[in-house]
Chain A
Amino acid sequence: MDAPFAQNPDMRSREFVAGGWRTLVVLASVALALRTVDAIPGWLSGLPRGVHLCPSLREAEARTGLRLDRIAPIARTAGSIRATASPVPAVAIVLDDDRSQLTFFRSRGGSIPTLLRPPPSAFHEIAVPLKPGLSASLKAERQADGSVWQDLEWSEGEITTALRFGGRTVELLRVARQLVEAAP
């Protein structure tokens, strides 16, 4: 410090405390600035913290460690890919389809996080067999505009997969069976 420390112990401790406060303010300002810069992409994209918009399926695979190459048969192109690593690695892929929008969810080690998929408020729920020994839970929920969406969810080992679809139930089940058959 440039100014010599005072000989008086009181003065010295006062200078020490003042110096401590100044250092604390510096460190807190830097931490706050870093946190603010980190939050900017989230504010601009409207995504909550921890959810990433991935430019490709490969990037989503790299972030989450989930295998996504098997979803190729169900859609030509992925519209938007969101991924999160916590509390469990999970992805949500909106698939562009000519008729209805289909959203694909997959997670490992737990249910699909609500950051990616708000829990469906179902008015109807049944169990649907996808293949021998594997059944899925099919839920129907009514949207604010009066349309009905189907939500199909099943688990194989530690992998949970779900599909949200605005079209016909038959079509949704066909897609789900395609995915189950394509699984290794």
Chain B
Amino acid sequence: MGRRAAECILHGIVTAVVVMMVLRAQRIRNPEARLRCWLFAMAVPLLGTPLFWLLSPWRLDEHFRDRWALFSASHSSPWAWHGVELATALAWLLAFAGAALFLRDVIPFVLDFARGRSVKRTATSPSAVLAGAVERAAAALSIALPRLTLLQSQHPILSCRGLRKPVIVASTGLCEMLSPDELAAAIAHEMAHVKHRDPMLGWGLMSVRALCFFNPAVQLAARAAAGEIERRADRSAACVVGNTRSLVDSLRKLAGSASASHLSRSWHRLRVAAIEERCQALLREKNTDPTAISPWMLLATAMGLGAILFLTVA
């Protein structure tokens, strides 16, 4: 069991490295394409590695390791300290790192979720500006009008929730803080999440993370995927409002005003840095970049990676 978990970690790391290098080498900047690549990186240790075990159990034999494997963790067996092999110690260390990454993200996620539920009771009717922004964004994105909930709260809250029937949740504090243009851009961002069914994807990502809590590569790939989901929504919102500057301003205002009461200081800093990176990307990039990575190229990469992983044994 331990060896299999170690192989999941090893395959996750190799896949994440290959995905990162391919994204750089092919200069892929489109969030949609990058998101698919990171989802692939998450799926490999979850589905690909167990498939290897199922179809070729002889991969784990010593004969295969010694004769064919590109890498076998068992080759480091002479290195031991007090009876604990180096490879085993390293696998445990990586598993702890994976669990730490998972907890670091899941705790604020749960706190955010609980906070959202607690303020739900004080809902009020949305203003005309807010309702108009939602209607315009829905029309521009060609989606059905989602339910809009306005919360009576001084905190600037804006999120897209709901798995089957998405709901846009905003607060009175948000409407007071943002100018109409900025509000329209922020709403367009959330409506883009509705269009791409991102709440469902977000829960899916979190489920995979919980399942592979010990795998640091899966945790990092999920973080990268979450970042691409946000970038994809940013791009869609910029297209809808036709004004990148107002979206950037709204993002910066929201990041700056995020309450630190429920977030640790370091987490808050990380969040602000991530949002600033998104703002810079929005200001730098054009929205006309198509996703033009060839499916044949993707297939060839996947096959090459599959061959490498087949020959990589924990």
Contact = CB atoms under 8 A, between A and B. Distances in A.
A85 B27 contact: no
B69 interface: yes
Interface string B270-306: 0000000000000000001111111011001100110
A23 interface: yes
B260 interface: no
Interface size grouping (class) on chain A: 35 or more
A23 B22 contact: yes
Interface stretch (A44-52, A123-131, A168-176): A44-52
A63 B62 contact: yes
Judged by DSSP, the binding face of A is helix
Contacts of A40: 76
A22 interface: yes
A29 interface: yes
A53 interface: yes
B65 A53 contact: no
Interface string B181-223: 0000000000000000000000000000000000000000000
A25 B311 CA distance: 18
A183 interface: no
Given A23-B25, A37-B71, A55 B80 contact: yes
Given A16-B294, A63-B62, A85-B65, A29 B21 contact: yes
B83 interface: yes
A38 B66 contact: no
Interface in A86-121: 86, 89
B77 A27 contact: no
Interface of A: 1-5, 16, 19-20, 22-27, 29-31, 34-35, 37-38, 40-42, 45, 47, 49-50, 52-55, 59, 63-64, 84-86, 89
Interface of B: 14, 17-18, 21-22, 25-30, 33, 61-63, 65-67, 69-72, 74-80, 83, 288-294, 296-297, 300-301, 304-305, 308, 311-312
Closest 5 CB pairs of A and B: A85-B62, A50-B66, A53-B78, A34-B71, A22-B25
28 contacts: A1-B26, A1-B33, A1-B291, A2-B27, A2-B289, A4-B288, A5-B290, A5-B292, A16-B294, A19-B26, A22-B26, A23-B304, A24-B304, A27-B301, A27-B304, A27-B305, A30-B14, A30-B308, A38-B69, A38-B70, A40-B76, A45-B78, A47-B78, A50-B67, A52-B75, A55-B83, A64-B62, A86-B67
